[in-house]
Amino acid sequence: MLGRHYLRLSLSEKQLPPSDVVIGSSWTTALWLNDYKTIAQENKYYFIQAYENWHGGDDKVIATWKMALKKIVIAPWLKEMADRMGEESVMIENGFSLTDFFVENDVMSRDPQTVMMLWHDNPIKRSSMGLSICKSIHELIPNLKLILFGVEPGHDNLPDWIEYYQQPSISQLRKLYNSAAVFIGTSSSEGWGLTVGEAMLCGCAVACTDNGGYKAMAIDGQTALVSPVDDEVSLKQNIVRLITDQKLRTTLALQAAEYVKKFDFNTQADKFMKLIMNR
């Protein structure tokens, strides 16, 4: 099924193309959607991908969760939040492309001292914390190699043990994941652990924080080593454990790569389509 992209001056109802179902994808679009008069209420869906209080504040976001929209959430922690508010929701977890992200390089033969991390300027991502931790580990493990990737322009004057890749293609990103032994997830909040899951599919052992998005796939001691958000000491210890304990690293990496396959994109997309088509 091919989609069509419409450019509109606003999200007002008169700008809406003929529609059987309308889906709001953030709290700001939910405000518009709730006021549409020509769309039956049972055909209005609110696709909740995070608790977006970082750019609206709790009161505004919660007000949209309380609207009489049919709510779809992408992760267990968001389902639990809706339940606590007394709001009905259906959970359809996000998916990963198993044809784009998979193991190419043998997990056991990777250099255990090669680690990888997303770089993002948004403070929620805690990239600066992750970089600080890696610099501290480099003092203990001089052969440490850090691979960074992100959307921002490249960083100047990086030491020779750190590489940065700006907006890598999917195939390049897959190769980067496959070149790393350990992936580090540092965020304080995520709706869904996109990069963590991609890294798992590509055979990385994961050390990450316990935000809800990561925890959808990061099970401590089974598919990852998980530490409290902003606990630099614990996160550093977990990274070092994965670098130095090859049996632990390979066990977690192989278990995670298999576990995350259940979030196949095509399967999750079918669930989404069946939900909105069988309304």
- What is the per-residue DSSP string for the chain? --------S---GGGPPS-S-EEE-SHHHHHHHHH-SSS-GGGEEEEE-S--GGGT-HHHHHHHHTSSSEEEESSHHHHHHHHHTT---EE----B-TTTS---S-STTS-TTEEEEE--SSGGG-HHHHHHHHHHHHHH-TT-EEEEEESSPPPTT--TTEEEEES--HHHHHHHHHH-SEEEE--S--SS-HHHHHHHHTT-EEEEE--HHHHTT--BTTTBEEE-TT-HHHHHHHHHHHHH-HHHHHHHHHHHHHHGGGGBHHHHHHHHHHHHHT-
Do residue 184 and residue 154 come from a single domain? yes
Domain that holds residue 218: 114-262
Residue 183 counted as domain residue: yes
pLDDT per residue as tens, the chain (279 positions):
557 888 888 899 888 888 889 999 999 999 999 999 999 999 999 999 999 987 778 999 999 999 999 999 999 999 999 999 999 999 999 999 999 999 999 999 999 999 999 999 999 999 999 999 999 999 999 999 999 999 988 777 889 999 999 999 999 999 999 999 999 999 999 999 999 999 999 999 999 999 999 999 999 999 999 999 999 999 999 999 999 999 999 999 999 999 999 999 999 999 999 999 886
Do residue 49 and residue 72 come from a single domain? yes
Do residue 120 and residue 252 come from a single domain? yes
Residue 66 counted as domain residue: yes
Do residue 46 and residue 173 come from a single domain? no
* Total number of domains constituting the chain: 2
